[in-house]
Structure 1
Amino acid sequence: MDAEAYRAQIYEIFTPPIEDVETRIDRGLELGTEYLDLSVGFFTRITAESQEILQAVGDHPLIQPGASCPLDEAYCRRTVELESPLAIQDANISSAVSETAVRTFDLGAYIGAKVSVDGVIHGTVCFADDDPRNRSFTDAEQFFVELIARLSGQALERQTYERQLTRREERLNEQEEIYRAVVDSNFDSVFRADTDGVFTYASESVRELLDYSPAGLVGQPITITYPDAEATDWAREKITQILNGEPAEVRDFPLETKFGSIVYSDIRGVPIYDGSVPDSQRTPDDIVEIQLMVRDASDRRQREGMISVINRVLRHNVRNEMGIIRGYAELLADELSEENAERADLICAAATRLLNLSESAQQIEQNRDTSSELEPLDVVPLVERIASECELRYPDDSILVDAPETAVAKTLPRIETALFELVDNAAKHGGDPASVDVEIEETDRWIVVRVSDDGPGLPELERAMLVTGKETPLVHGQGLGLWLTYWLVTTVDGETEVLDADARTAIEVRLPTPC
């Protein structure tokens, strides 16, 4: 065969995708020894310090797969430094090969070219013989060796890429399986839909939630789960928000099951972006899907409804009974002697406070998902009124108020109930008799009301409850009032804190200022 026919065979060897790289290189080495009429062909891996034979054809004892030597003792040392092949007709008289290499391998003729993979030197493709050649290597022969080296490098690049791609696919499959396992084991249902509002995925838990199979929903418009036009309009508004790049949440959203019944749900939706776009460059145009986390809220809705009914009945009865108590107490206050009239006034004040508390509870329930509209309110008259009432309740106690002429907070009238609970608690559970100090301070940000006493201090349960609002079955009596204080202060954007200083227990309420 002529040189062109051998080159055609080399291209054919490295073209079929069905063979692995090692087999192709072996076939290339065999064809090269035949074409060049040399007895040895080998493929190496070169590092900064050594040469390792990876594949070889021929019977040379030192040139076999797995053999290695220092790079300075190898014929290939000079090969990796050149851009073109290194061709040596007689190594015994060539300066391109070290004397040590010639003594070690005793090769007369040598031709080799470097192999690069992704721009980095990987090794060499070489051919050699024990005896020198009687003629120089031609340009065609040098091109042939360089062609094998280039095709080998390209084959290794493809192999590396395919292995990386396989590993990436394996990791993606593993992550997808983990994601699916998490989703399937979650109490929530997960849905994905494209930007046209068509389901592309539904988790297994959709069967229990909506009576659909996951496959039965994929390809269906998400409107199939909307029971009416009002729900459709509401959902369209939230989906538009998600497609603009903003997460959206809804509570108590009605969904229609496959058989026409209604399920109320809490839903959170987020956009899914094209993964090829970096986070810093993403815009709404890069959103490819939306993901919805759906939780069945039917039990919670039923429970809240039951509690709401109980609360309404309780408040109705409290208002009626307290109205009667206050009415008769006012009559008695007008008819009794001074000392007994004061006691009747205490009954009136207690009844009024319970009525106000009932109204506050109603307001809190009605506005539990929204912030109340706070208003400027001077807390000094509230505190002075509370102190006067507690002095009547506990005549042996000392209750002192240290306050400026005015201290206007941004709050609501129900804060009086919270402050009363603190002062009443200090007077009731302080020393015997109790010494209670109520201080009011104004800062740039807060109106601070500090109630301190010389009692034994707050037990840990009550202390934790007042700071976190966590009420337990062990918290009752004293603690229930503090629990009420915490929640009332919280509903007006205030804060509570327990302080220990100078052997006195102090509870601090901070209310925001209007500015």
Structure 2
Amino acid sequence: MGAVTYRNQIYDIFADPNEEFENQIKRALDIGTEYLGLSIGFLTRIDDGRQEILYATGDHQLIRPGESCPLDEAYCRRTVEIDSQLAIEDAAASTEVSEIAVQTFDLGAYIGAKITVDGDVYGTACFADTETRDDPFVEAERFFVELVARLSGQAIERRNYERELSERKERLDEQREIYRAVIDVSFDSVFRFDTDGTFTYAAESVRGRLGYSPGELTGQPITVAYPDAQAAEWAWEKISQILNGEPAEVRDFPLETKSGDNIYTDIRGVPVYDGSVPDADRSKDDIVGIQVLVRDASERRQREGLISVINRVLRHNVRNEMSVIRGWAEMLAADLDAERANKATVISAAATRLLDLTEAAQKIEQNREVSPELEPTDIIPLINRTVTECETRYPNASITVDTPEEAISETLPRFEVALFELVDNAVKHGGDPESVVVDVSVSERLITCRVSDSGPGLPNTERSILQTGAETPLVHGQGLGLWLSYWIITTLNGEIDVISSDRGTTIEIQLPRPTGETDHRSSPS
């Protein structure tokens, strides 16, 4: 057979997609030894200065799979250094092979070419014989060896790529199975839909929530679970927020089951990005879908409703009974002698404190929302209304206001409820005569509001409320009002604290300014 026929055989071997890589190499080595008239063929892996024989044909004690040696002692050392193949007809007379290599392997003739994989030297494809060769290697023979080396390198690249794909698939399958198992055993339902609002995934737990199977929802528009147009409008508002790259949460969102019943749910949604885009480079244009976690809120709503009813009934009864007690105590105080009148006054004061407690409890219930959507709000009108109301209630009190004309905060109008509790508390305990100062300062990121009085100072039990939010001091009427302020301000992303001073009490509130706000006006001097 001619050189062309042998080369075509090599092409056919490496072109067969069904041929195992190991068989391809072995067959190529067998064909090469036949074509070149040499008794030995081998393929090496060179790494960290050593040569290892991976595949071999022929009968040589040191050229067998698994045998290795330092590269400096191998015939292949020079092969990996040059750009073309290395062909030697008489190794003992050649300067290309080290003396120690000749002594170790005792090869007379040698021809080899380096194998590159992904641009790096991988090893060599070589043919040799223990006898020298009389005729020099011709161009066709040199090309044949280079062809074997080049096609071997490409086959190794394909094998590595296929292995990597297989390993990635195994890892992905494992991660998917873990994800599926976690979702399926969760008490929550997980859904995924594309940017057009079509379901692409539903966890098995959807059967218990909505009555659908996962397959029934996949491919359906999410509107299939909306009970009415109002719910749809509300949902798309949140979906638009998520598609802009912001997570969204909704409490008490109604969903319609397959049977037509409505259930209430708490929902959290997050954007799903194109996995090929690095985290640092992601933008809203890379969002390919939305994943939501849905939790049945029916039990919570029922529990909160029961608590609300109990609270309203309790407050109503307490207010009625305390009003009767206070009324009779005030009449007794007016009719009795001084000593007994003082005792009646104590009863009346105790009844008044209990009535104040019921009012504070009602305000807490009205302001128990914990996930507000904040909006730019000028707090100066809120402060002015609060001060005006307290001056009306306590005409003998002195309330000084030191504020700029405008102070825009990222908050909500219910901040006024918290502010009133603090100013009202400061007036009640602001010394004799009552003296209170309300001042506001504006910085680049924050608005700071301080309420100061000249009283005896805040007791430690009440102070801990504003520092830790502890509920233990709720047994105190004063503590309940402060706890209400703490609750409202912290749920508005604000901070509240007690500022140390030699006399009186100063409570400081810090509220965030809207992002991008450029008004840098400070408070008056």
Instruction: Tell me the TM-score normalized by structure 1.
Output: 0.80
How far apart are the structure 1 equivalents of 2:160 and 2:495? 62
State the one-letter code of the partner of 1:282.
R
State how far apart, in whole Å, the 2-side matches of 1:104 and 1:489 are. 86
Contact 2:398/2:436, CA 8 A, preserved across alignment: no
- Where does residue 203 of structure 1 map in the other structure? 203
| Residue aligning to 2:383 | 375
Contact 2:471 2:483 (8 Å CA) reproduced: no
* Alignment of 1:237 onto 2:234: no
The answer as to whether partners of 1:42 and 1:125 remain within 8 angstroms in 2 is: yes
Distance 1:206 1:418, change over 3 A: farther
- In structure 1, distance between residues paired with 2:165 and 2:45: 24
Inter-partner Cα distance in structure 2 for 1:195 and 1:156: 41
Matches of 1:43 and 1:450, distance apart in 2: 93
1:136 is aligned to 2:136: yes
Secondary structure in 2 matching 1:80:
coil
Q: 489-498 vs 92-101, which deviates more?
A: 489-498
1:490 aligned residue: 487
TM-score by structure 2 length? Answer: 0.79
> How big is each residue's C-alpha offset from its partner over 1:361-404, in whole Å with a ceiling of 9 and x where there is no partner?
3233223225897525569x99xx8xx9xxxxxxxxxxxxxx99
> What is the CA–CA distance in structure 2 between the aligned matches of 1:118 and 1:245, rounded to whole Å?
38
Q: What do you get for the CA RMSD once the two structures are aligned?
A: 3.9
Task: Name the amino acid aligned to 1:196.
Answer: D
Offset of 1:309 from its aligned partner?
1.5
CA distance in 2, matches of 1:18, 1:164: 18
Q: 1:386-397, aligned counterparts within 5 Å?
A: none
Q: Aligned residue for 1:117?
A: 117
Q: How many residues align?
A: 477
Partner of 1:157: 157
Does the 8 Å contact 1:449/1:510 carry over to 2? no
- Kept in 1, the 8 Å contact 2:357–2:480? The answer is no
Q: Could you list the per-position Cα deviations for residues 150-169 of structure 1 after superposition, in whole angstroms to 9, with x for gaps in the alignment?
A: 11111111111111111111
Shift in CA distance, 318/330, structure 1 to aligned 2, threshold 3 Å:
same
Cα separation, partners in 2 of 1:78 and 1:489, compared to 1, 3 Å: closer
Against the structure 1 CA distance between its residues 234 and 453, is the aligned structure 2 distance closer, same or farther, given a 3 Å change threshold? closer
SS at match of 1:60: coil
Partner deviation per Cα, 1:414-434 (whole Å, 9 max, x = no partner): 33676699x79xxxxxxxxxx
* TM superposition shift of 1:494: 6.3
Per-residue deviation, residues 219-246 of structure 1 (Å, max 9, x unmatched): 2221111111211121122112222222
Could you say what secondary structure the match of 2:80 adopts?
A: helix
1:274 and 2:274 correspond:
yes
Moved more, 36-45 or 410-419: 410-419
The aligned counterpart of 2:87 is 87
Deviation at residue 3 of structure 1 after TM alignment: 0.9
Equivalent position to 1:412, from 398, 414, 419: 419
Asked if structure 1 preserves the Cα contact closer than 8 Å seen for 2:114 and 2:121, the reply is: yes
Task: Give the aligned residue type for 2:422.
Answer: I
Following the alignment from structure 1 to structure 2, what is the Cα–Cα distance between the partners of residues 345 and 90?
124
| Equivalent residue number for residue 222 of structure 1 | 222
Deviation at 1:18, TM superposition (A): 2.0
Deviation of 1:490 (Å): 3.4
Distance 2:164 2:455 in 1: 68
| Residue 297 of structure 2 is aligned to residue 297 of structure 1 | yes
1:448 CA drift (Å) = 5.2
CA contact (8 A) 2:87 2:110 kept: yes
The answer to whether the 8 Å contact 1:199/1:217 transfers is yes
Query: 1:412 and 1:353, CA in 2 relative to 1: closer, same or farther beyond 3 A?
Result: farther
197-206 vs 293-302, which deviates more? 197-206
Unaligned runs of 5+ in 1: 389-402, 425-437
Q: 2: CA distance between counterparts of 1:408 and 1:21? A: 84
Letter in 2 for 1:310: I
Q: How far, CA to CA, are the matches of 2:79 and 2:455 in structure 1? A: 89
Q: Note if contact 2:199-2:220 (Cα within 8 Å) is conserved in structure 1.
A: yes
Structure 2 letter corresponding to 1:300: R
Mapped to 2, the partners of 1:300 and 1:316 lie a distance apart of 24
